[in-house]
Structure 1
Amino acid sequence: MRSVVLAALIAGTALPALAQELNIYSHRQPMLIDPLLEAFTAETGIKVNSAYINQGMVERLQAEGERSPADIVLTVDIARLGQIKDAGLLQPVEDAALETIPAGLRDADNEWFGVTTRARIVYASKDRVADGEVTTYEDLADPKWKGRICSRTFGNDYNIALTAAYLAHHGEEATREWLTALRANLAKKPEGNDRAQVKSIWAGECDISIGNTYYMGVMLNDPEQKEWAESVRIVFPTFEDGGTHVNVSGVGMTKAAPNREAALQFMQFLVSPEAQRIYAESNNEFPVIDGVPRSELVASWGEFTPDALALPEVSDLRPAALKLIEEVNFDG
């Protein structure tokens, strides 16, 4: 299923409320969600139009207002879900199927719902980092790592969420100290994405990096990057008083949704065993519904205990976390 530009398709007018059609704004590239959308259409007969919006989704929805053609937003990261909610662009959805999602992975006001999870883990050099050498997020501040850590910017949403979780566990002063010490351990200035950090480990520029689990699957499926992936192993660090930090890809129904019935059917479909399997396997992520197995590749990374901290709490602490990141000039 190819993506279309919805504005051109709909020419600025709303579709009839009962039209068997669904319009999605997505932060995920079409190739990552097309198998899911095709399965939904095959099951329901509802045509799906998707628009890939990497940046500026909030601004676009605000500009379109009540005339927005978008019924559904599919996002990556708790930050973007929180931003869309805080802008008043989502509506609450109460449905028994959605209540099967663990409470810590959905909004308390039922405006957004996590549909898959990923862990924020450590990629460690197989050659230069011993088993058990890194076990906690707190340990990343240890001077033993000086000059050995690579990182993308901490102003990135994924690292802001990790910092917000650290803040929830330890408070402001301890988080400021952790950021300062972690910054001092960097091998070079933060830059690039999570995969670029693994490349740096492969190249011998550093020994460990922080990244999302699903990038291992992406790298293994890329002939150019497979060698990078094979040079590292995944380590699931924990907070000293908790588990491994997880984040979500999520869904919400827009406040302006012209096709609300179809939108609800899609949200219900997302928590079905079939959709959970497809979405998790397509993106190398973890299903959120009990009883749905992980893909063979994801299962091969091993078991871990997700942190019990509710993601809405993490989202609420994002502004404070970003303030601390900027105070210590982490990316400077």
Structure 2
Amino acid sequence: MVSESLSTVPTKEQIRRAPKVLLHDHLDGGPRPATLVELARETGYDQLPENEADRLADWFREAADSGSLERYLETFSHTVGVMQTRDALFRVAAECAEDLAADGVVYAEIRYAPEQHLEGGLGLEEVVEAVDAGFREGERRARAAGHRIRVGALLTAMRHAARALEIAELANRYRDLGVVGFDIAGAEAGHPPTRHLDAFEYLKRENNHFTIHAGEAFGLPSIWQALQWCGADRLGHGVRIIDDIQEADDGTVKLGRLASYVRDKRIPLELCPSSNLQTGAAPSYAEHPIGLLRRLHFRATVNTDNRLMSGTSMSREFEHLVDTFQYTLDDMQWFTVNAMKSAFIPFDERLAMINDVIKPGYSTLKSEWLFKDAAH
């Protein structure tokens, strides 16, 4: 009875209540549509394609659902366009933490590019401090609502620009003030991570953490460079590692040397299923590499990427995976522990989150099934 009970797929309500960990989410990819409309009105931004929240949400999803990473990235001009004041950054950050906590996320690393929020006259430090204050306010509101969440920031440099070292230095200055690491993002093709080696070498000298967007729209060379030239701690997406894995008709699997290295070294993959479908990195949930990567025990994690553009949340991402692969609470816990192990906070704090929050949370959900079975 126990094994049958624990193998049952969770309901949507159980998925929502389950503790979740989010490593790959963009601040400018997740504002509430109603907030965008209000901020556009307040800041004088007159380029929104729709001025009603529901229609604006639909526009973002449709525009992002193009199969092209470049077209997908164009949608950010509107979210970034209204996030140019301290008040706007504070509000979006606070609501981000609040929304994630309500969805069962207990730990999140949210990334944003400070260099993209300077058009209203803010300096880089002012941007970082406004976002951090917003995250702390969002954590406070979550506690008041009966939820718990801890939010850390990843400072992102745009790979097509030339400010990576400057942003890396900024991340290092604020590493004990809410910033937990560094990232580079933007279109991969034509903008290899090796252009920013000075930033990565600086971070390694400072014993700081960084992740690199790699293996999303571009393939194995991007992953190889991120790991072997730059020394990334994690791979942002990394979904194209599947190109180095051969699965025969009889089910046998052969890993290439890069895939073997990624698995053997337990390099975390920040997989974002819904986003990957939109940008053409995977054709469907059923064909998404996460299914095979889970079976092969890669350090796979589940993430949202951009909640607004994908019309998603952590719960919805897991709902898709549960529906597609019949994942159980045990599978959800496996992905969640993977993510917490891979977070950029100190080891003892990660361990405390796993042992004091995540495992007890899943144990409670599983015990509800046992109680329900016993009652019948």
Does TM, scored on the shorter chain, surpass 0.5? no
**Higher helix share goes to which structure?**
2
What is the TM-score with the length of structure 2 in the denominator?
Answer: 0.29
What is the TM-score with the length of structure 1 in the denominator?
Answer: 0.31
The structure showing larger relative contact order (alpha-carbon pairs under 8 Å, at least 6 residues apart) is 1
